[in-house]
Amino acid sequence: MSLFVLHVSLTFGLLLAAAAAGVVGLRRQGASDVVYGLSALAAAGGAGFAVVHGFLGESPAALALPGGLPGVGIRLRIDSLSLVFLVVVNAVAALVSLYAVGYGRHEHPGRVLALYPLFLIGMNVVLIADDAFTFLIGWEFMSLASWGMVAARHEDPEARRAAHLYLLMACGGAFALLFAFGVLAGHAGDYAFAAIRARTLTGWMPELALVLILIGTGSKAGLVPLHVWLPLAHPAAPSHVSALMSGVMTKVAIYGTIRLVFDLMPTPQWYWALPFLFAGISTALIGLLQALVERDLKRLLAFSTIENIGIIYVALGLAVAFTATHLAAPAAVALTAALFHVANHAVMKSLMFCGAGAVLHAAHSKDLEKLGGLFNRMPATGALMLIGAAAISALPPLNGFASEWMVFQAILASPALPVEGLRFLVPAVGAVLALVAALAAACFVRAYGIAFLGRPRSPEAAAAHEVDRVSLAAMALMAGLCIAGGVLAPLVVEALRPATLQLVNAGLPAQAGPVPLTLTPFDGTRSTYNGFMIAVFLLVSSFLASWGVHRIATRATRRAPAWDCGFPDASPATQYTASSLGQPIRRVFGPIALRVRQQIAMPPPGSTAPAEFRLSMTDPVWSLFYVPLARLVELLSWQFNILQFLTIRRYLTLMFAALVLLLVVVVLWR
C-alpha cells in the first residue's frame, strides 16, 4: 500500500469519524473534546504525511478512485504545490483544533461540531484533487460547511445576514469556477487536470478563463471587489472557525488561483499580471484602511486578512509578469514570497483569531471600546498576542517581515521587465505596498494597545481571567511558529523550492551559504537578511542594556498612581479610545477611501441641548458596485415579473422562440 493511500484513508477516515461523533454527540457533554481531538489528530497526520512525502521525494503520487464523473472518476494527486499547501493547511488546522479542544468546553457547540470535520475534509479534497469535478466537490464542501458554521448562531440577525451574503458570494464564485473549468476543458469535456493541461486554448479563451478564475477563487479569498462578505462572515463564526476561515480557507482559495493559473493554464502573457496587481494592491489598501477604523476586534482581524490577501496577490501578479517575460529568477523570488506569505499569514492570523476568542471568552466582548487592561489580567494570552501582532505588523525578526521583505525584493527586480506598461505600474504598486506595510503596524498598535493595555473600559474587562491551558498551549505553538518562521526563514524558503521549480521552472539559489540562515533571494551581493542574527543581536543588546543599567545604576522601583501631567482622572473613559486613536488616520485617509462623513451639531451658546456628533463610514466598493447591482437585479425582476402570469399558449410560444434563438446561436458559433 502506497504512502498516499495510507495518507488519504487515515486523514479522511479520522475526519469522518469526527464528523460522525459530532452528529451523535450533538447534545452530549464532552462531545467537543472527541470531535476536536480527532480533527487535531487527523490534521496533524495530514501535515505529517505531507512532510514525509516531501522528504521521500515521492511526489507526484496519483490515485484514481471509482465514482465521480463517468470517464473521469475521482482522481487524486499530490505534487510539490499540493504538498506545500497540505502542510500549511493541516498544520494550522491541527493547532486550531487543539485550541478548540480547550475553547469548545466554554462554548455551546451546537451544530458546529459535525460541520467542523467536514470543513477540513473539503479543504483537503481541494488540495489533492486532480480533476475539475473532485476539485469543485471539495470546494463546495468547504463553502457549505463553513456557511453552516457561520449560520450556527442563527438567533443573531447579524450572523444571519452574514451567512446570507456569504452563501450568495460562494454561489457566485462556484458558478464562475464552473465556467472557468468549462472554458479550460472545452468541447471535448475531459475534466481531468492532465487533459486540461494538455489542451491549447485559442483566441481570447485564456483571458476569459483567467477572469473567471479570478472571480471564482478571488471571491473566496476576499479579493476586492469581491471581499464584502468576508468581514461579516469570518467574525460571525465561533472564534476557532474564524481562525480556520481567515487563516486557512483563504489560503485554499489562493491554492486554487495558483493551481489554475500557473499549472493548468497555458504560458501567461504579460498583461495577465494587470488584474492581479490592480486587484491585489487595492485589496491591500482598502482592507487595511477599514481595519484601521474598525472597532470590533474580530472584524478588524478579518479586514487585516483582506489586506494580506492583497499582498499575496501582488506577489502572484509579479510572478505572472516575470514568468511571461521569461525572467526566471525574479519569478521564483516572487512566487516564493507569495507562498511564504501564505504560510506566515495562515499561522499569524489563526493565532490572532484564537487570541480574540480568548478575549471574547474572558471579557465577554469583542468591541474594542469595552476592552482594555487585559495584559495584566491575562498575561499569557497578552504576551502571545503581542508576538502575533508584531508578526502581522511585519516587524523583524518575526515571520511577517521575512515574507514582506521578499515581496519588496521582487518589486526591486522589476526594472528588468521588458514591458514598459508594467515598469511604470510596479513602482506605484511598491509605493502603496510600503504605505500598507507601515499602516499595518499602526493598525495593530491600535488593536493591541486598546484591547490589552491601558485601563479596563468595562466591568467585564476588569474581571477578565486567563483562559485554559490547552488553548494557551495551542496559541503558544502558533506564536512559536511565528518566531521560527522569521528566524529560520531560509529553511522555509528551501522547503518551497520544489513548488517553485514545478510552477515556474526556477528556484531560489541554495540558501546554505557559509553563514547559515541567511535569506538570499538573488545572490549574496544583492540583498541578504539574516533573521536569526537580528534576533540574537536584539536579545543580546536588550539583555546587556537592562543588565548594565540595573548593575551600574539602581534597580529601585516604586509603584505610584499615574502621573498624567498632575491631573490623573480615575474614570477609564478619559483614556484614548479605539475611535479617537484612529481619528487622525481617519481624517487623513478617510474622506476618499472610506467615504467618511462627520457632522457636528453644536447648540447655540446658552442652550442646554446636548451637542451631537455623527460619523458615517461606508465601503466605497459597496456603494459604487453592489448597491447599483442590487438595484439592477431588483429592477429586472420587476420587469420579468409578468412572465409569471402568462397563458399556456404564450409560454409555448416563448419556449419555441427560445429554442430557435439558441439554434441560431449554435449555427453562428460554429
**With CB under 8 A as the contact rule, which of the stretches 20-28, 71-79, 314-322, 429-437 interacts with other proteins?**
429-437
Task: Please tell me whether residue 565 binds other proteins under the rule CB under 8 A.
Answer: yes
Task: Please tell me whether residue 170 binds other proteins under the rule CB under 8 A.
Answer: no
Task: Please tell me whether residue 572 binds other proteins under the rule CB under 8 A.
Answer: yes
Tell me whether residue 137 or residue 441 sits nearer to other proteins (CB atom).
441
Residue in this structure with the C-alpha cell 475539475, named with its chain if needed: 132
The CA R_g of the chain, rounded to the nearest whole Å, is 26
Strand, helix or coil for residue 52: helix
Contacts to other proteins from residues 580-599, by CB under 8 A: 580-585, 587-588
**With CB under 8 A as the contact rule, which of the stretches 49-57, 113-121, 333-341, 438-446 interacts with other proteins?**
438-446
Residue of 232, 190, 183, 229 lying closest to 210 (CA atoms): 183
> How far apart, in whole angstroms, are the C-alpha atoms of residue 96 and residue 98?
5
> How far apart, in whole angstroms, are the C-alpha atoms of residue 608 and residue 223?
49
Dihedral pair phi/psi, residue 615, rounded to 5°: -130, 130
Tell me whether residue 266 or residue 513 sits nearer to other proteins (CB atom).
513
Report the phi/psi class of residue 186: left, alpha or beta, with left for phi > 0 and alpha for psi in -120 to 50. left
Spell out the SS3 assignment of 69-135. Answer: ECCCEEEEEECHHHHHHHHHHHHHHHHHHHHHHHHCCCCCCCCHHHHHHHHHHHHHHHHHECEHHHH
Q: Shortest approach of other proteins to residue 346 CB, angstroms?
A: 21
Binding-site member from 198, 562, 611, 667 for other proteins (CB under 8 A): 562
Contacts to other proteins from residues 466-525, by CB under 8 A: 513-515, 518, 520, 524-525
Q: Shortest approach of other proteins to residue 561 CB, angstroms?
A: 6
Binding-site member from 43, 411, 477, 488 for other proteins (CB under 8 A): 411
Tell me whether residue 225 or residue 373 sits nearer to other proteins (CB atom).
373
Task: Please tell me whether residue 665 binds other proteins under the rule CB under 8 A.
Answer: no
Tell me the β-bridge partners of 367.
Answer: 296
Task: Please tell me whether residue 341 binds other proteins under the rule CB under 8 A.
Answer: no
Dihedral pair phi/psi, residue 639, rounded to 5°: -65, -40
Dihedral pair phi/psi, residue 109, rounded to 5°: -70, -45
**With CB under 8 A as the contact rule, which of the stretches 127-135, 267-275, 308-316, 527-535 interacts with other proteins?**
527-535
Task: Please tell me whether residue 534 binds other proteins under the rule CB under 8 A.
Answer: yes
Q: Shortest approach of other proteins to residue 453 CB, angstroms?
A: 4
DSSP per-residue string spanning 646-657: --HHHHHHHHHH
Task: Please tell me whether residue 554 binds other proteins under the rule CB under 8 A.
Answer: yes
Q: In this structure, how many other beta carbons lie within 10 angstroms of the beta carbon of residue 11?
A: 26
Binding-site member from 29, 202, 267, 557 for other proteins (CB under 8 A): 557
Task: Please tell me whether residue 280 binds other proteins under the rule CB under 8 A.
Answer: no
**With CB under 8 A as the contact rule, which of the stretches 2-10, 80-88, 464-472, 554-562 interacts with other proteins?**
554-562
Tell me whether residue 254 or residue 412 sits nearer to other proteins (CB atom).
412
First to last CA, the chain: 49
Binding-site member from 58, 455, 509, 626 for other proteins (CB under 8 A): 455
> How far apart, in whole angstroms, are the C-alpha atoms of residue 346 and residue 478?
10
Task: Please tell me whether residue 372 binds other proteins under the rule CB under 8 A.
Answer: yes
Tell me whether residue 80 or residue 511 sits nearer to other proteins (CB atom).
511
Q: Shortest approach of other proteins to residue 433 CB, angstroms?
A: 9
**With CB under 8 A as the contact rule, which of the stretches 118-126, 218-226, 441-449, 654-662 interacts with other proteins?**
441-449
User: Which residues are CB-neighbours of 104 under 8 A, at least 6 positions away?
Assistant: 32, 33, 35, 36, 240
**With CB under 8 A as the contact rule, which of the stretches 112-120, 186-194, 339-347, 386-394 interacts with other proteins?**
386-394
Tell me whether residue 573 or residue 665 sits nearer to other proteins (CB atom).
573
Task: Please tell me whether residue 537 binds other proteins under the rule CB under 8 A.
Answer: yes
> How far apart, in whole angstroms, are the C-alpha atoms of residue 28 and residue 477?
29
Instruction: Return the DSSP state at 508.
Output: P
Task: Please tell me whether residue 527 binds other proteins under the rule CB under 8 A.
Answer: yes
Contacts to other proteins from residues 607-626, by CB under 8 A: none
The three grid cell numbers given for residue 174, joined into one nine-digit string: 462556484
Distance of CA 493 to the CA centre of its chain: 20
Tell me the β-bridge partners of 529.
Answer: 519
The three grid cell numbers given for residue 380, joined into one nine-digit string: 499569557
Tell me whether residue 139 or residue 452 sits nearer to other proteins (CB atom).
452
Task: Please tell me whether residue 530 binds other proteins under the rule CB under 8 A.
Answer: yes
